[in-house]
Amino acid sequence: MYWRLIPLMRLPGQFQMAIDQWLLEQHQAGIYPPVLRFYTWASPTISLGYHQHRWDSAWQQLTWQGTPVELVRRPTGGRAVLHQGDLTYMVITSGLTGKRLDAYQKMCGFLIQGWRSLGVDLHYGSAGRDYIRNPNCFGIATGADLVTANGYKLIGSAQLRRGDAILQHGSMRLEPDTQLFEQVFGETLSYVNLPIIQEGDALIQTVVEVLTNAAADCFGVELVEQPLSNEEWQRILRQSSLELGSPVGDFGKGTRGRGS
């Protein structure tokens, strides 16, 4: 069995969300196999959960280093996520059985295995329903999230289900700016020193390579690298009513899981 692996892309948030949504629809329709991809954000961006109604209106006027902070809505549930200094993963598959948290644990297994090989042991969060009152995804860790031994939330995840198909994506905090985080959420960001010598793009490349190998092992599949074609891009842009001169490639409706 093979899965499609889409190479790392750096794009504005609205395009990243459109890609995720479109890929899920193609898989649900039986057109595409399961998909794995990793991506980064062209500029600091806040993604809101699909059903999130509580958030600070001042976020619409935020800037960072002279650049406006983009505000987008995810197709998945959960709270707001600040995407800056992070890496996002996305998995689309189908055929998973059991409860929602069972699906999270099956999907997150490769993250735990991969990060363990990098020297970071992760376990699932244990927060109850209090997460609903917190607009900040990383302000609390649910059973869908992964935290370090000292309680630092490294990965926040969320899902969208359409029939038998599941889209799960999540943010991994690699090199977050603590001042920007405090500006957005009004709270101090605890920091974890990752046991990895690389920084910046080199760090991202290392994490992507390790997690890609872990995904192939955990899911028992062959990952076949296949970038988005020009035709696929045009279909994504038309469906989402977006305009983009050329994608930068340098590196709905359904049941939405809480996550994040």
Q: Confirm whether 137 is a catalytic residue.
A: yes
Q: Which residue has the tokens 């376990």?
A: 123
Q: C-alpha distances in angstroms, 192 versus 6, 46, 150, 182?
A: 29, 21, 9, 16
Q: DSSP characters for 99-155?
A: -HHHHHHHHHHHHHHHHHHTT--EEE----GGGGG-SBGGGS--TTSEEETTS-EEE
Please give the structure tokens belonging to residue 103.
Answer: 């699906």
Q: Are 117 and 214 in contact (CB under 8 A)?
A: yes
What are 160's strand-pairing partners?
167, 256
Q: Are 260 and 22 in contact (CB under 8 A)?
A: no
Q: Which of 137, 180, 194, 215 is catalytic?
A: 137
Q: Are 165 and 143 in contact (CB under 8 A)?
A: no
Q: Which residue has the tokens 């280093």?
A: 65
Residues annotated as catalytic (active site), given as ranges = 137
